[in-house]
Amino acid sequence: MNVLIINAGSSSLKYQLFDMKTEAVAAKGQCERIGIDGHLKHTPLSNGKPVFDEDIPLPTHSEAISAVLDKLTGEKYGVLSSLSEIGAVGHRVLHGGQSFSESVLINGDVIAAIEENIPLGPLHNPANLMGINACRSVMPGVPQVAVFDTAFHQTMPEKAYIYAIPYNYYEKYNVRRYGFHGTSHRYVSSEAIKMLGGGAGTRVITCHLGNGSSIAAVKDGKCIDTSMGMTPLEGLPMGTRSGSIDPAIIEFVANHEKLTREEIFDVLNKKSGVLGISGVSSDFRDIEKAAADAGDALSRRAQLALDVFRYQVAKYIGSYVVTLGGVDAIVFTAGLGENSAELREAVTSQLGGFGITIDHEKNKLRGQLADITGAGSSARVFVIPTNEELVIARDTKAIVEA
């Protein structure tokens, strides 16, 4: 079965086509500037066909999906002989609220529930719905599956997800911790459990560290706590997001800087994190470079941004050792977790109090599956490349075949 994976944003749409016999990606690409002017980059893989990378009009998501299908089946750029070769479509959906604890076949009820959760994911859910509705209209009859970023975290106990604010906000508006990157935490924790040889009661801490970052505590394959909250703004400092701060800072800064509610949240989402501290970049590669460049005026602040980030990662790991009653494995994943040996070195060097160490030579590996556990370490330390698209494709296939 071929499965098409769609990740729709408000003006973009990323896709990957999986051949599920081999789980290989047959083609991938993205539409950009939907509703503005339109651009499509399509990359057929494995058959040496040319890449399509051009401006084309994309007034809505429907035209974007049509253009993608056109490229997938066209003679020059295609990898399929006809549309009927697509057996199912899997959609990444940001916020499933309390409605979804696993992936589901999309029907009218599911669409209504994704709509009901728009207040919790006001930017993403409407865009995800545009992708779903476009596929339903352009490919009627092809089963569609929704895979939620929040679903894996629905197993958290109440004490982990209830905020200490008036309880009626939870009752009236579903204000609570949901957590994100669930597909990634699910995948890397299950891989880690395999690497540990399975067994009951395994305790794994998964660190998804990229542009957006979150950490999860996973016991027996189930999430019991995670760092992101009702929205992805909570928890670790990130590329441009502040992560957790004293909420009183919001009013203080808004008053002093004369910022509106929208402007202050724009600062917290887009101008904070390691970008805000360093003044250099939101990209960790740039910051690591600036920090290493001792002559640079911004070098000290770049190093400070790295120190703040790495300290918070280590603090979360420490707190989840408490949550889990110990730890069997710590996993690093996503852009930074997979690639930055320096980050893994700096974080694990703060875990000596737990007897956790890494092998400095093995840690030099980049972007590949690795067991970097140090000799005599009390817990294993793994680097496991995440693959959210593959998980979405597997869920989609399993649900459609069932």
What minimum distance in Å lies between the beta carbon of 211 and ligand ADP?
Answer: 3
Q: Is 149 considered catalytic here?
A: yes
Which of 134, 216, 236, 334 touches ligand ADP by CB under 6 A?
334
Indicate the residue among 285 and 360 with the shorter CB distance to ligand ADP. 285
Task: Write the DSSP string, 127-174.
Answer: HHHHHHHHHHHHSTTS-EEEEESSGGGGG--HHHH--SS-HHHHHHH-
Of 53, 55, 70, 149, the active-site residue reads 149
Q: 173: Cβ–Cβ under 8 A, 6 or more apart, which residues?
A: 119
**Sheet architecture: strand order including 370-371:** 222-226, 213-219, 203-209, 329-333, 380-383, 370-371
Which of 283, 296, 359, 371 touches ligand ADP by CB under 6 A?
283
- 364 in contact with ligand ADP (CB under 6 A): no
- 336 in contact with ligand ADP (CB under 6 A): yes
What minimum distance in Å lies between the beta carbon of 14 and ligand ADP?
Answer: 11
What minimum distance in Å lies between the beta carbon of 272 and ligand ADP?
Answer: 14
Q: What's the chain's Rg over C-alpha atoms?
A: 22
Residue 210 carries which DSSP code? S
Indicate the residue among 340 and 377 with the shorter CB distance to ligand ADP. 340
- 187 in contact with ligand ADP (CB under 6 A): no
Indicate the residue among 194 and 285 with the shorter CB distance to ligand ADP. 285
Which of 284, 309, 316, 332 touches ligand ADP by CB under 6 A?
284
Enter the tokens of residue 366.
């980049």
Indicate the residue among 212 and 235 with the shorter CB distance to ligand ADP. 212
Spatial distance between the Cα atoms of 283 and 297, rounded to a whole number of angstroms: 18
Spatial distance between the Cα atoms of 359 and 279, rounded to a whole number of angstroms: 33
Which residues share a beta bridge with 92?
147
How big is the CA angle at 302 (ends 301 and 303), to the nearest 5 degrees?
90
- 150 in contact with ligand ADP (CB under 6 A): no
Binding mask of the shown chain, residues 211 to 250, with x at each position contacting ligand ADP by CB under 6 A: xx--------------------------x-----------
Q: Is 178 exposed, middle or buried (0-12, 13-18, 19+ CB in 10 A)?
A: buried
What minimum distance in Å lies between the beta carbon of 402 and ligand ADP?
Answer: 30
Which of 194, 271, 285, 364 touches ligand ADP by CB under 6 A?
285
- 340 in contact with ligand ADP (CB under 6 A): yes
- 210 in contact with ligand ADP (CB under 6 A): yes
At how many degrees (to 10) do helices 299-324 and 341-348 cross?
A: 60
Spatial distance between the Cα atoms of 148 and 168, rounded to a whole number of angstroms: 26
Which of 154, 242, 312, 339 touches ligand ADP by CB under 6 A?
339
Indicate the residue among 9 and 131 with the shorter CB distance to ligand ADP. 9
Q: Which residues bind ligand ADP (CB under 6 A)?
A: 210-212, 239, 283-285, 288, 334-336, 339-340
Active site (catalytic) residues: 149
